């Protein structure tokens, strides 16, 4: 079994981007600029957002964090989005999800200019991605594709089972794996909470992508020998032995599945770092268009 080293591959990608930033600056252009909107104080969201801002700084991007109290009105949030859409100093921006209940995420996502939607959540970007047109691919699926590519994993003709059908991960992942390109050309099955015989379906996968949000859900009896296993889960599980009171665990029961698969992503250190690197990659794509 080989472990995908998401940290190392993410660093590779970030180093390439850092080099491009230097080149841009030498040529007299300003570095890429990512803005991040955070509403409220969801602990996980704050961690992700801080990691994104830190990652920007580390490779020479400009970044702006717009942190609003949880009671901000939807109108004020939409006005802020309008301002960012028009601000030529910002190449791309994201609105960290989830948002408080009084704000409609769909309305918010649709307000972001598709050309600045580096999260790739806008229906225009999702639609274009599905049609194989030039579009921002959202960071988690994009990061996974990059990981598969850089490890030269064979995908053509393979049976890929995507466990989970969310708009952020499972949905786009299934589309990307069936594209007529590399990585892709898979026969794809989407399995979810209503799938019958879910164990058997998972066990028939050559490539299993688990994005179901349930800690240690995929056990060894659900995995084919030699399968490639990609664990997208980042679940917080109570753990009194840890100073912070919890530990992070994926959707895959790592120790037992690692015994039988050919490749596996660890949690943490697998898909997570790739997601951030891919957001930076999307921001560079947006910035290149402005040059």
- The residues of the shown chain that bind ligand GUN, judged by CB under 6 A, are 94-97, 119, 139-140, 168
The residue annotated as part of the active site, out of 52, 116, 158, 224, is 52
Rounded to a whole number of angstroms, the minimum distance from the CB of residue 94 to ligand GUN is 4
Does the annotation count 203 as an active-site position? no
12 is catalytic: no
Task: Give the residue with the Cβ less far from ligand GUN, 104 or 225.
Answer: 104
Q: Where are the beta strands (DSSP E) in 30-77?
A: 33-39, 62-68
Given the residues 96, 206, 224, 231, select the one marked as catalytic.
96
Distance CA 120, CA 244 (A): 32
Is residue 78 classed as helix, strand or coil in its secondary structure? helix
**Nearer of residues 24 and 94 to ligand GUN, judged by Cβ:** 94
Q: Given the complex with ligand GUN, which of 96 and 155 has the nearer CB atom?
A: 96
State the catalytic residue, choosing from 5, 91, 117, 119: 119
**Rg value, the chain, Cα:** 19
Residue of 249, 214, 284 lying closest to 14 (CA atoms): 284
> Which position's Cβ is nearest ligand GUN?
97
Spell out a b/e string for 25-55, using b for 16 or more CB atoms within 10 Å of the CB, else e. Answer: eeeeeebbbbbbbbbbebeebeebbeebbeb
Q: Which residues pair with 252 in a beta bridge?
A: 218
The H or E element spanning position 17 is helix 6-26
C-beta of 5 vs 119, nearer to ligand GUN: 119
| CB 185, min distance to ligand GUN, A | 26
Instruction: Write down the least CB distance from residue 37 to ligand GUN, Å.
Output: 8
Least Å distance between CB 138 and ligand GUN?
Answer: 6
Which of residues 74 and 185 has its CB atom nearest to ligand GUN in the complex?
A: 74
**Closest distance to ligand GUN from the beta carbon of 234 (Å):** 9
SS3 content of the chain, % helix, strand, coil (to 5): 40, 20, 40
- The verdict on whether 119 is a catalytic residue reads yes
- The answer to whether the beta carbons of residues 146 and 137 sit under 8 Å apart is no
One DSSP character per residue, 130-173 reads: HHT-S-PPPHHHHHHHHHHHHTT---TT-EEEEE---TTTHHHH
**Residue 44 three-state SS:** helix
Min dist CB 45 to ligand GUN, Å, is 7
Q: Order the strands of the 207-210 sheet from edge to edge.
A: 2-3, 263-264, 228-231, 207-210, 159-163, 187-191
- Where are the strands (E) in 44-141, listed by range? 62-68, 92-95
Q: Which is nearer to ligand GUN, 96 or 249 (CB)?
A: 96
Q: Which are the catalytic amino acids?
A: 52, 96, 119
């Amino acid at each position: 079994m080989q472990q995908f080293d998401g940290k190392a591959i993410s660093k590779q990608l970030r180093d390439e981007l850092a080099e491009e930033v230097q080149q841009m600056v030498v040529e007299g252009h300003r570095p890429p600029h990512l803005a991040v909107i955070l509403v409220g104080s969801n602990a996980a969201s704050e961690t992700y957002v801080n990691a994104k801002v830190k990652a920007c700084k580390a490779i020479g991007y400009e970044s702006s964090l717009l942190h609003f109290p949880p009671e901000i009105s939807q109108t004020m949030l939409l006005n802020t989005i309008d301002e960012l859409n028009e601000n030529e100093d910002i190449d791309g921006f994201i609105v960290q999800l989830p948002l408080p209940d009084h704000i409609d995420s769909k309305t918010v996502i649709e307000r972001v200019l598709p050309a600045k939607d580096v999260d790739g959540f806008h229906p225009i970007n999702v639609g274009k991605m599905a049609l194989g047109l030039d579009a921002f691919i959202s960071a988690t699926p994009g990061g996974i594709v990059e990981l598969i590519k850089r490890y030269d994993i064979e995908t053509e003709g393979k049976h890929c089972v995507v466990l989970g059908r969310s708009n952020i991960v499972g949905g786009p992942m299934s589309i990307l794996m069936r594209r007529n390109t590399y990585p892709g050309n898979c026969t794809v099955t989407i399995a979810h909470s209503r799938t019958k015989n879910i164990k058997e379906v998972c066990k028939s996968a050559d490539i299993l992508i688990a994005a179901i949000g349930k800690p240690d859900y995929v056990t060894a009896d659900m995995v084919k020998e030699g399968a490639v296993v990609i664990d997208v889960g980042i679940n917080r599980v109570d753990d009194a032995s840890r100073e912070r009171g919890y530990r992070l665990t994926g959707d895959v029961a790592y120790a037992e599945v690692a015994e039988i698969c050919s490749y596996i992503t660890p949690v943490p250190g697998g898909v997570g770092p790739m997601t951030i690197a891919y957001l930076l990659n999307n921001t560079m794509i947006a910035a290149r268009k402005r040059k």
